[in-house]
């Protein structure tokens, strides 16, 4: 990772900063050399001053390359650079006349000292910058023989600049690392998805083959085949689920619209009802409950598919508010339990999900013996055996929908669950719905539309 981070400096925001440091060192050197002749009059040892500046210039020009990028620069260069300017500051006291020092003459390296501090900032961040700034500052104080106001001022400015630049470089480095990691994860994910698709396809093929051959061979192999078939369906449902658009992409938009009732979601069924009523009065549809982020109903229904359950659904997401999806999913689960209980373990079941402009319809059919609707349903409901009245019908009623049970002789039993779009919450956001609440009174609508299918259920 270190190597990558260093190499990352090559194309990053860091590289321009190094170039800036390099340029800053050169320019400040020129400034120092340019300033010296004006002050040389104060000096008791002018030649020594020139010698120092000559050495500093040679050093600065010689180190242009190391200081131009992080790859070439090491701590050794930085320490040497710092030592060079600190020495220059201290030598000012030796070479300059006492009067000149007291008068506050600039030091020999002048602002070239800041170049060293910037090097530390860009290399190591704010802490090395602060420490090196402090070193330069202490040298200044020693040179002046005490703390003067202008010195203090300069020291604070130098440290501030160093710390600020050091901090910026740390932030830049961190965000660059994050970006690199994100790109890496993205690439890995894409590759994994590609691999998964191939692997899944292969596994599906083999499982399907085992099932087919197993059931033909009979006996123990048939049992193996059945298990393979179950796994195949489960895997296929999983893949289908993974390929469906992630509901969380839809969620934030819808959630923002419906944040007005955050307490209603947690306040139990009673509060739910009153909230539902409120949202019916609210023409904007924004007053629905807090858990109303839209979800794809298929993601809950598809996993129900198995050896004895076939799921049919549209190829596009069937969006309903989250709580409606959960309730509807639970109702479908209850209906499947009913199939097992009353039509037998061996009965086949078919689930059909339909996405109509004003309602979502889920039908569950089994191939059991069925019953004569008019004669049996009333009795069955009295006995509570079908369980339709409680867990299924109740849930649907809470969603403003309906549950109808009917049966044709010899064609099993069918239960049809209808959830109107408007009443269940903020479904108005989907493109498939031309007008949010065009259907007059959605709560009363579906129930009265289905009198012939009601039997004695009402």
Partner 1 sequence: MSSDEQAIRVMVVDDHPMWREAVARDLADAGYDVVATAGDGQEAVRRAPAASAHVVVLDLNLPDLPGVEVCRRLMRHSSPPRVLVLSASGEHADVLEAVKSGATGYLVKSASRAELLDAVRRTAEGDPVFTPGLAGLVLGEYRRLAAAPAPADARTPAAPQLTERETEVLRLVAKGLSYKQIADRLVLSHRTVQNHVQNTLGKLQLHNRVELVRYAIERGLDDGR
Which residues are at the interface with partner 1 (CB under 8 A)? 200-202, 204-209, 211-213, 215-216, 229, 232-233, 236-237, 239-240, 243, 310-316, 348, 350, 352-357, 363, 365, 367, 408, 410-411, 414, 431-432, 434
Q: Which two tokens mark 326?
A: 């959960």
Closest separation in Å from C-beta 340 to partner 1: 16
- Tally Cβ neighbours within 10 Å of residue 49: 23
80 contacts 133 by C-beta, under 8 angstroms: no
CB 413 within 8 A of CB 392: no
Alpha helices (H) along 125-148: 126-144
Least separation in angstroms between residue 231's CB and partner 1 is 10
Beta-carbon-side half-sphere exposure of residue 48 (alpha carbons within 13 Å): 13
DSSP state of 399: T
Nearer to partner 1, 39 or 228 (CB): 228
CB of 424 to partner 1, least distance (A): 18
CB of 222 to partner 1, least distance (A): 12
Q: Give the shortest CB-365-to-partner 1 separation in angstroms.
A: 4
233 or 376: CB nearest partner 1? 233
3-state secondary structure string across 300-343: HHHHHCECCEEEECCCCCCEEEHHHHHHHHHHHHHHHHHHHHHH
- Say how far apart CA 423 and CA 442 lie, in whole Å: 6
Please identify, using beta-carbon distances, which residue of 211 and 279 lies nearer to partner 1: 211
Dist. CA 131–CA 120, nearest whole Å: 9
Tell me the CB-side half-sphere exposure of residue 241, using CA atoms within 13 A: 17
Nearer to partner 1 by Cβ, of 175 and 449: the residue is 449
CB of 378 to partner 1, least distance (A): 23
**Shortest Cβ distance from residue 381 to partner 1 (Å)?**
23
Nearer to partner 1, 110 or 295 (CB): 295
Nearer to partner 1, 271 or 432 (CB): 432
Burial class (CB in 10 A: 0-12, 13-18, 19+), 434: exposed
DSSP 125: -
233 or 393, CB closer to partner 1? 233
The residues, any chain, with a CB within 8 Å of residue 106's CB and separated by 6 or more, are 35, 39
Q: Closest CB to partner 1 among 140 and 359?
A: 359
Output 156 or 199, the one with its CB closest to partner 1: 199
Nearer to partner 1 (CB atom), residue 123 or residue 331:
331
Using CA atoms of 301, 313, 325, 393 in order, give the dihedral in degrees to the nearest 10. -90
Q: Which residues are within 8 A (CB) of 296 and not within 5 positions of it... i.e. 6 or more apart?
A: 244, 245, 247, 317, 318, 319, 325
- In angstroms, give the least distance from the CB of 319 to partner 1: 12
Token representation of residue 241: 């689920």
Tell me the closest approach of the beta carbon of residue 227 to partner 1, in angstroms. Answer: 12
229-265 CB burial, b ≥16 within 10 A, e <16? beebbeebbebbeeeeeebeebeeebbebbeebeebb
Give residues with Cβ within 8 angstroms of 37, minimum separation 6: none
CB of residue 453 to partner 1, shortest distance in Å: 14
Q: Which of 91, 82, 84, 92 is nearest to 39 (CA)?
A: 92
Min dist CB 389 to partner 1, Å, is 23
Q: Are strands 413-420 and 359-366 parallel, antiparallel or unpaired?
A: antiparallel
* DSSP one-letter code for 68: G
- Return the number of the residue (65 or 212) whose C-beta is nearest partner 1: 212
Task: State the DSSP code for 380.
Answer: H
């Amino acid at each position: 990772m270190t190597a990558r981070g260093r190499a990352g400096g090559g194309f990053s925001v860091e590289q321009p900063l190094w170039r800036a440091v390099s340029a800053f060192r050169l320019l400040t050197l020129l400034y120092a050399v340019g300033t010296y002749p004006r002050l040389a009059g104060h000096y008791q040892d002018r030649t020594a001053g020139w010698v120092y500046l000559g050495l500093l210039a040679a050093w600065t020009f010689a180190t242009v390359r190391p200081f131009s990028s992080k790859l070439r620069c090491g701590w050794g260069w930085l320490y040497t650079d710092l030592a060079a300017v600190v020495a220059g500051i201290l030598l000012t006291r030796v070479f300059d006349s006492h009067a000149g020092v007291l008068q506050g003459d600039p030091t020999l390296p002048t602002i070239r000292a800041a170049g060293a501090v910037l090097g530390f900032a860009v290399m190591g961040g704010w802490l090395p910058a602060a420490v090196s700034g402090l070193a330069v500052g202490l040298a200044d104080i020693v040179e002046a023989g005490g703390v003067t106001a202008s010195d203090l001022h300069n020291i604070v400015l130098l440290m501030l600049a160093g710390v600020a630049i050091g901090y910026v470089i740390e932030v830049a480095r961190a965000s660059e690392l994050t970006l690199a990691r994100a790109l890496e994860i993205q690439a890995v994910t894409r590759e994994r998805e590609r691999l998964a698709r191939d692997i899944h396809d292969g596994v599906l093929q083999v499982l399907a083959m085992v099932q087919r051959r197993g059931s033909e061979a009979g006996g123990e192999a048939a049992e193996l085949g059945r298990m393979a078939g179950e796994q195949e369906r489960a895997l296929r449902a999983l893949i289908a689920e993974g390929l469906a658009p992630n509901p969380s992409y839809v969620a934030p938009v819808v959630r923002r619209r419906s944040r007005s009732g955050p307490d209603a979601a947690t306040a139990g069924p009673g509060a739910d009802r009153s909230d539902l009523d409120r949202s019916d009065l609210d023409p904007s549809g924004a007053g629905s409950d807090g858990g109303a982020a839209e979800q794809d109903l298929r993601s809950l229904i598809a996993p129900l598919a198995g050896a004895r359950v076939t799921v049919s659904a549209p190829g596009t997401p069937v969006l309903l508010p989250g709580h409606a999806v959960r309730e509807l999913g639970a109702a479908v689960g209850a209906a499947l339990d009913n199939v097992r209980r009353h039509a037998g373990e061996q009965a086949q079941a078919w689930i059909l999900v339909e996405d109509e402009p004003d309602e979502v319809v889920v039908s569950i059919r089994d191939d059991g013996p069925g019953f004569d609707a008019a004669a049996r349903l009333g009795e069955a409901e009295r006995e509570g055996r079908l369980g339709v009245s409680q867990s299924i019908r109740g849930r649907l009623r809470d969603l403003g929908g309906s549950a109808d049970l009917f049966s044709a002789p010899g064609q099993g039993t069918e239960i049809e669950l209808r959830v109107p779009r408007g009443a269940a919450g903020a479904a108005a956001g989907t493109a498939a719905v031309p007008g949010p609440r065009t259907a007059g009174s959605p709560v009363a609508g579906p129930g009265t539309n289905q009198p012939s299918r009601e039997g004695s259920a009402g």
